[in-house]
């Protein structure tokens, strides 16, 4: 059995998940790094980080992926201590009655049912050992809906509610469950959104980025490192009495 704690992180090949994976490896964790892109294998090749990382190409929306990721963690490191449900898609843009139902379903499969399945797969292990951490990556927009984003927003709002319910269910077993809710983050998904917004507004993408940054009290976009810091703390012993919470990582766009 590995002496290092082990985490499963989804969406590890880019953006926030890449930042989280790199941070946990730097902190000494073993990580099963999962992503639908085969780039995850190039970023984390076999044997790298003293063998403390296993790259898995997988679609978190597939029904058998969650069990396979937990089996990989147990087979590779003999333990599993945390899950970071980060993989997500932006979903279709438009009024609900105007977008394709298949795109709505895909958004819910990735952003909500994927995390549900992974939580279900790991809970028996957490209960058996009397400890565990679940960190769900939500969104500022679960509390700040915008026109045309219903599929994405409802998926993230439901994920936050999952956090609340599981925190109550799993608290007696010594398991904590929390949400990290990013704001404006410089990811490929956000860049695509900015390009679409700029086209609608009749401005270039740089101008649209400037307008968004003007809404942020800290004056900048966030990145994977900002989210990774919050996740790393939630998975640490220092956050052992924190559960059922949503931690905003948004530069002050939304305060509580």
State how far the Cα of 123 lies from the Cα of 172, in Å rounded to an integer. Answer: 12
Find the helix packing angle between 101-108 and 150-170, rounded to 10°: 30
pLDDT given for residue 100 in this prediction = 97
Encode pLDDT of 85-133 as tens digits.
999 999 998 999 999 999 999 999 999 999 999 999 999 999 999 999 9
Place of tokens 């379903």: 105
d(CA 150, CA 142): 10
CA–CA separation, 174 and 171 (whole Å)? 5
Query: What is the predicted pLDDT for the residue at 2?
Result: 66
- What's the Cα-to-Cα distance from 147 to each of 92, 118, 183, 213, 228, rounded to whole Å? 12, 30, 17, 20, 29
Q: Please report the pLDDT score of residue 256 as a whole number.
A: 65
Give the phi and the psi of residue 236 in degrees, each rounded to 5: -85, 165
β-strands 30-35, 6-10: how paired? Answer: parallel
What number of CA atoms fall less than 13 Å from residue 167's CA on the CB side? Answer: 19
* CA–CA distances in Å: residue 39 to residues 9, 11, 58, 110: 15, 11, 11, 19
What pLDDT is stored for residue 81 in this prediction? 98
Specify the pLDDT at position 203: 84
Residue pair 136/162 in contact (Cβ under 8 Å)? The answer is yes
Average pLDDT taken over every residue of the chain: 94
Would you state the pLDDT for residue 204? 83
Q: Which residues of 170-189 are buried (b: 16+ CB within 10 A; e: fewer)?
A: beeeebbbbbbbbbbbbbeb
Cα gap 34→41, rounded to integer Å = 9
Helix intervals (H) in 37-113: 39-43, 65-77, 101-108
Q: What is the DSSP letter of 146?
A: -
pLDDT at residue number 33:
98
Q: What is the pLDDT along the chain (256 residues), one digit of tens a residue?
A: 567 999 999 999 999 999 999 999 999 999 999 999 999 999 999 999 999 999 999 999 999 999 999 999 999 999 999 999 999 999 998 999 999 999 999 999 999 999 999 999 999 999 999 999 999 999 999 988 888 899 999 999 999 999 999 999 999 999 999 999 999 887 777 777 777 777 777 888 888 888 888 888 998 888 999 999 999 999 999 999 999 999 999 999 887 6
In this prediction, residue 1 carries a pLDDT of: 54
Query: Given this model, what pLDDT does residue 136 score?
Result: 98
Active site residues: 152
């Amino acid at each position: 059995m590995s002496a290092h704690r082990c985490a499963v992180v989804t969406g590890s090949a880019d953006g926030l998940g890449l930042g989280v994976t790199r941070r946990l490896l730097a902190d000494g964790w073993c990580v099963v790094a999962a992503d639908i892109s085969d780039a995850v294998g190039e970023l984390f090749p076999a044997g790298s980080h003293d063998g403390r990382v296993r790259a898995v190409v997988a679609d978190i929306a597939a029904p058998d992926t969650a069990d396979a990721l937990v089996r990989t963690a147990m087979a590779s490191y003999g333990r599993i201590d945390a899950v970071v449900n980060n993989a997500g898609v932006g979903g279709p843009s438009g009024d609900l009655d105007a977008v394709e139902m298949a795109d709505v379903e895909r958004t819910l499969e990735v952003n909500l049912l994927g995390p549900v399945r992974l939580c279900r797969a790991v809970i028996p292990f957490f209960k058996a050992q009397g400890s565990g951490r679940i960190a769900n990556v939500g969104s500022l927009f679960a509390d700040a809906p915008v026109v045309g984003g219903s599929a994405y927003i409802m998926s993230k709002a439901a994920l936050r509610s999952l956090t609340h319910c599981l925190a109550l269910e799993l608290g007696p077993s010594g398991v904590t469950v929390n949400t990290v809710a990013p704001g404006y983050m410089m990811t490929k998904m956000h860049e695509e959104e900015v390009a679409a917004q700029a086209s609608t507004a009749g401005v270039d993408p740089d101008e649209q980025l400037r307008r968004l940054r003007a809404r942020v009290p800290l004056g900048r976009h966030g990145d994977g490192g900002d989210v990774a810091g919050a996740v790393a703390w939630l998975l640490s012993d220092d956050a052992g009495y924190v559960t059922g919470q949503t931690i905003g990582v948004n530069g002050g766009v939304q305060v509580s």
